[in-house]
Homo-oligomer: A and B are copies of this chain.
């Protein structure tokens, strides 16, 4: 029986330009029996789409699709029912215990989906990730997991709208995907703000109580210090267990953190685009004894906790990283951590469920792992390591994980390689870089309103942007496939020009015109075949751009020169001293996470194409001791977006009878 399934599979794949001429051999190789069973099981939820022309609106397509019960998708892709925590019928968290069960399984191919520098026109990176996954699964019968970020609710109700893909390449149900998910961002908001309240209240209590009163209240009724208190005692070099045994001097050191209010760097967060919270003064209530302080709110996905969630390898690792978060300095210059505040355990308790990725599905019934979504401008903009690992082990040696890297490859890919892969130890096999003729013309100087008109000169000019991204990725030793996402206005001459130019200038593995937006997985078959061939035929030789042991300045300069094309780096203000301080404090081995604009290779959003000769200004530099990266600021980076005059929420409503949400995009 499995043989029969296999024969039909191989004939299928044969008819598709024979990327797997070797498939017939499968029948002879009993080792592959497992995978054959898998492929057959997989087909129980995977299906191809009947696409309409013209393509209906995203919401029409999404709401006309009937998702499978999520436990069926899970089962089809090898997740045991005991490894699933359902949230309703179409979302489920996947328990991390699955990593233990599959630890000896051979992994799938690891493909990162990145982009050229984004433009106001929209290039469709998420749409490509999903369309490609649909194509691999439903059309080429390869297990494939799309690993994507949970979207912030800020943009959903603000300018951008949702992030579930588009056209016939979408995650469904799109309302569940765009609103709440399985609550991970809410957990981050709760944990982040618990720490913030704990810091300010600690300052308040220390200002209003003597050392002895503080100590008495902190240790009241305790026979022994709590495990959390013991962590602080350890830091202070005190090994006593009974609160009664501390000397007065030890009591003061334990109880009085002596936080300098001007150094508190931990901000509050909300998952709303609320510009009026960017800078605020707190503590103006009549009972707060005049302890006012300037601070502000960031959007929740900009919280260090989100970066930590995305980079943690397990709960123990996440808990330890929370403890290491530096929130302020003491008056005498010591670093005060979340552990010192006594709050890291409670934060981890709040985030316990958030560490499990969420399984959803595409329009073609293929699996999607949604997990984490750190802000791309100031954090690393990539979905979680845990989701990628689960996907790789489930996909198996014939399967794929397609993981999306936010913004252009200068941000998303560089950080994917140098931060995410460095942390996880996983090695990517290939990169897909998304581009469009329209966006390339924009980088060649064309106004957005004229991007739909043939303009070969501007296109030639704009290709420089795409070409540099490809050459950059080649420096990391992996093959690149370009997905040229098709728009109705693209002319044959334009498409041909891009293919020729890019292939010639870069030796990219392939440049493929892809139509998954209009045709679902069927529209990305050529792209999927290219990905299969690249991962089969090219031996990737993944390497980092810099070593852990390089100095922080060397790391920064390598990124600026080799990735951005800069002539040099200029350290403004006290950034050089700060970098030295970070190295003295032991953070020299951390990778670099650039806080920069996504619109240009450079620090200047107006420099389109592939600028050269510029000097990158380092205006500020900070360190995330929990997420473990140093982040230099190349310009003003907003960590709290605003709402436009007509925000997306103006069109969103709900049908009280049916519960159907209208107007989400």
User: Quick one: which of A88, A229, A276, A293 has the most chain B CB within 10 A?
Assistant: A276
List B contacts of A294 (CB < 8 A): 284
- Knowing that A180-B187, A281-B281 are A-B contacts, what are 6 other residue pairs whose CB atoms are under 8 Å apart, sorted by A's residue number? A85-B87, A196-B272, A204-B275, A281-B284, A315-B657, A319-B654
Chain B CB within 10 Å, residue with most, of A291, A318, A647: A647
Q: Does residue A342 face the partner (Cβ distance < 8 Å to B)?
A: yes
Looking at chain A's contact residues, is the secondary structure mostly helix, strand, loop, or mixed? mixed
Q: How many protomers of this protein does the assembly include?
A: 2
A217 at the interface (CB under 8 A from B): yes
Inter-subunit contact B276/A197 (CB<8 Å): yes
Q: Which of A604-648 contact B (CB under 8 A)?
A: 642-647
When chains A and B are docked, how far (Å) is the Cα of A350 from the Cα of B157? Answer: 11
Q: Verify A352–B280 contact, CB threshold 8 A.
A: no
Given contact pairs A180-B353, A661-B349, A649 touches B279 in the complex (Cβ within 8 A): no
A314 touches B663 (CB 8 A): no
Residue of B nearest to A281 (CB): B281
B646 near A217: Cβ-Cβ < 8 Å = yes
| A465 within 8 Å of B (CB atoms) | no
Note all chain B residues with C-beta closer than 8 A to A219.
646
**A-side interface residues toward B, CB under 8 Å?**
85-89, 93, 153, 157, 175, 179-180, 183, 186-187, 189-190, 193-194, 196-198, 200-201, 204-205, 209, 214, 217-220, 226-229, 268, 270-288, 291, 293-294, 296, 314-319, 342-343, 345-346, 348-350, 352-353, 642-647, 649-654, 656-657, 659, 661-664
Q: Out of B228, B316, B353, B654, which one reaches A348, CB within 8 Å? A: B654
Give complex CA distance A285, B346 in Å. Answer: 32
Whether the pair B201, A275 counts as a contact (CB closer than 8 A) is yes
Name the CB-closest residue of B to A316.
B656
A661's closest neighbor in chain B, by CB? B349
Residues of B within 8 A of A204 (CB): 275-276
Cα–Cα distance between A85 and B186 once the two chains are bound (Å): 19
- Least CB separation from A274: chain B residue: B197
A294 to B285, CA, bound (A): 11
User: What is the minimal beta-carbon distance from A478 to any residue of chain B, in angstroms?
Assistant: 33
- In the assembled complex, the Cα of A197 lies from the Cα of B272 at a distance in Å of 7
Q: A284-B280, A319-B656, A350-B179 are in contact. Are A649 and B343 (CB under 8 A)?
A: yes
A649-B217 contact in complex given A276-B283, A288-B275, A656-B319, C-beta closer than 8 Å: no
Rounded to whole Å, the gap between the CB of A150 and the closest CB of chain B is: 14
Q: Which residues of B contact A318 (CB under 8 A)?
A: 656
The answer to whether B285 and A275 touch across the interface, beta carbons within 8 angstroms, is: yes
A339 to chain B, nearest CB (A): 11
Residue of B nearest to A660 (CB): B352
B228 touches A651 (CB 8 A): yes
Complex contact B272–A293 (CB within 8 A):
no
Cβ distance A143 to chain B, nearest Cβ, rounded Å = 26
Establish whether residues A276 and B201, one from each chain, have CB atoms under 8 Å apart when the complex forms.
Answer: yes
What is the distance, in angstroms, from A228's C-beta to the closest C-beta of chain B?
Answer: 6
Ranked nearest first, the 6 interchain pairs of A and B with the lowest CB-CB distance are A316-B656, A345-B653, A346-B649, A186-B186, A278-B285, A197-B274
Residues A193 and B272 in contact, CB atoms below 8 Å apart: yes
Contact between chains at A197 and B643 (CB < 8 Å): yes
A275 interface neighbour in B186, B190, B287, Cβ under 8 Å: B287
Q: A186-B183, A197-B272, A650-B228 are in contact. Are A85 and B88 (CB under 8 A)?
A: yes
Who on chain B is nearest to A322 by CB? B654
With a cutoff of 8 Å between Cβ atoms, the chain B residues found around residue A276 in the complex are 197, 200-201, 204, 282-283, 285, 288, 291, 293
What residues of chain B lie closer than 8 Å to A657, measured between beta carbons? 315-316
Pair A342/B218 contact, Cβ less than 8 Å: no
CB A482 to nearest CB in B, in angstroms, measures 32
Distance (Å) between the CB of A82 and the closest chain B CB? 9
Query: Which residues of chain B have C-beta atoms less than 8 A from A194's C-beta?
Result: 153, 157, 272, 649
CA distance A280 to B284 in the complex (A): 6
Q: How far does the alpha carbon of A227 sit from the alpha carbon of B88 in the complex, in Å?
A: 29
Closest chain B CB from A592 CB (angstroms): 27
Pair B644/A217 contact, Cβ less than 8 Å: yes
Q: Which residues of B contact A296 (CB under 8 A)?
A: 285
Q: Considering the chains assembled together, what is the distance between the CA atoms of A352 and B194 in angstroms? A: 26
A659 to B650, CA, bound (A): 41
Within 8 Å CB of A286, what residues of B? 279
Residue in contact with A653 in the complex, picked from B217, B285, B349, B644, CB distance below 8 Å: B349
Decide yes or no: A352 and B659 within 8 Å by CB, A218-B645, A278-B285 being known contacts.
yes
Contact B285 A279 (CB under 8 A): yes
User: Do B201 and A656 touch across chains, with their CB atoms under 8 A apart?
Assistant: no
- List the B side residues contacting A661 at CB < 8 Å: 349, 352
Residues of B within 8 A of A343 (CB): 649
Residue of B nearest to A296 (CB): B285
